[in-house]
Structure formats: C-alpha cells, structure tokens
Amino acid sequence: MEFKTITLTISGHVAELTLNRPDKLNALNTQVLSELREAVALLRRQEEVRAAIITGSGGKAFAAGADIGELADLSKSEEGASFSQSGQHIFELIENSRMPFIAAVNGFALGGGCELALACHIRMCSETAKFGQPEVALGIIPGYGGTQRLTRITGPTYAADLILTGRTIDAQEALASGLVSRVVSSEKLLDTAREVANAICEKAPLAIRAAIEAIYSTDQSGYEREANLFGKLITTNDFREGTAAFLAKRKSKFTGQ
C-alpha cells in the first residue's frame, strides 16, 4: 500500500508509523487521517506485528492538530459532528487494537495531535515536546476524544485546566501530570520507544491483548456528547472568527455568538 502523507515500516514484530507532512507541522488533514486509518487497519490485520510506534517527521512536531484550513470550511452542525466522529473512529481503532501503540512525541502535540497521542496506550516524549488542547481559541472543543481521554488520563481538574485555558505545556509538566510516562532527549526518543516496544513483544501476546482490553473498557456516551457539542459549535460566529483569525495570522475577537 502506498502512502503519501505518512510512512509505515515494519521491522520484526514492531511497526513504525510516521506522520509526514512537516511543512504543515504534520497537521491532520483528510488525507493524513484517511492514510492513518488505512495504516492502522492494515496493522490490525498483521498477526506478526505486536507493537506500533507513532511519531512525527521534521523534528518540530508530532502533529499540530486538525488542519485548520479544512476545519474552516465546515459550517453545518451535522458536518461538524461527522468531522468529530470520523476522527474519534480512527483513534478508537488505535485504542481498541490488540497491539499496544506507543506515541513518541517529538515536538508539538496540539489539538488532534495531542488527542492522537492520548489514544495511544503509552506516551513518551522528547525534552522539547509541547502538549495542549487549544481548540477553545478557535471557538470549538477537542473533538477527537480529547475531552474523554484527557479527563480519564489526568483527572478532571487538570483536564479542565488544559482544555478551558487552551494553554500549552512542556515535557516536564506533561510528565508531572501523567500525560506521558517518560521524557528523554530528542536523540534517544525513537530508540527508547523501540526498546519499550521490543520489551512488550517479548511478553505473552494473549496477556498483552487481555491487558489492553481490561484497561480500556469505556463508556461510549461521552464521545457521542463530545461529537454533538463539537457539531453545534461549528455553526457559531466565534468558530468562524477563531479559524479566520488563525489563517490570517491575527488575534481573534470573540462575541459569544
């Protein structure tokens, strides 16, 4: 299978999937998401693959979020809800996979990029990594499962702090908050991810599969609510203003409408 915006390699039992749109900080446009879905579906069918690493190319970003240019074209509530659900579905394929996914975050993991990392079972990052859910600055909320997973992973108090302020945090704060389990130098990040992946591959495959299933059994209603709220926000003037301001590289003026 040929991919244009991601690369996929398999070595032994470990797959490496790299988001490869560095000029746009690996922003998740329709093509990236569709190739990501294909790649994850492909890996789920490969019995010999027992662990997968996701990272970003270019050294500056893991992924800087959903593609704001594409997002700005949405105007109807149903379009927004379906945009949210399609991302949720791909990230669910990752979380519900029989193999562990390891996010190796090597720079910005913002918005959908942070949500992609959150959907992975293990997150580690470089000392230069930055995380955040800046959607409220665009007049929307995290729509790819972030309201659910960030809350589950870090607890509601910290999740609300990040989601409501939209602030960006560094690697040390990500470690302290439980968002990642390890911080290493940029040079060591991929090797560390490979070591962890290989260590998992040496364990009993059925036990790994059962552990994932046991850890991630979740109630789906929160995801549905997230997609519906995301859809409603797409119809607001504040969403038009937030995305237009980002694309015009200016500060937003929100009116609450």
Catalytic positions, please?
115, 135
CA distances from 223 to 91, 154, 227 (A): 11, 17, 6
Q: Which of 97, 117, 134, 115 is nearest to 56 (CA)?
A: 117
Q: State the binding string over 116-145 for ligand COA (x if CB under 6 A, else -).
A: ------------------xx--x-------
Query: Helix (H) and strand (E) counts for the chain?
Result: 11, 10
Strand order in the sheet with 61-63: 61-63, 108-110, 130-132, 168-170
| Spatial distance between the Cα atoms of 98 and 213, rounded to a whole number of angstroms | 8
Q: How far is the CB of 7 from ligand COA (least distance, A)?
A: 19
Residue placing its CB nearer to ligand COA in the complex, 51 or 144: 144
User: What does the per-residue mask of binding to ligand COA show for 20-59, with x meaning CB under 6 A?
Assistant: ----xx-x--------------------------------
Between 116 and 138, CB nearer to ligand COA: 138
Closest to ligand COA by CB, 68 vs 159, is 68
Separation CA 182–CA 124 (nearest Å):
5
Residue 123, SS3?
strand
Name which of 138 and 169 has its Cβ closer to ligand COA: 138
List the one residue from 64, 81, 120, 193 that touches ligand COA (CB under 6 A): 64
Among 56, 80, 100, 111, binds ligand COA (CB under 6 A): 111
Question: What's the min distance (Å) between Cβ of 87 and ligand COA?
Answer: 10
Instruction: Determine if residue 107 is left, alpha or beta; phi over 0 gives left, psi from -120 to 50 gives alpha, anything else beta.
Output: left
Residues that bind ligand COA (CB under 6 A): 24-25, 27, 64-69, 108, 110-112, 134-135, 138
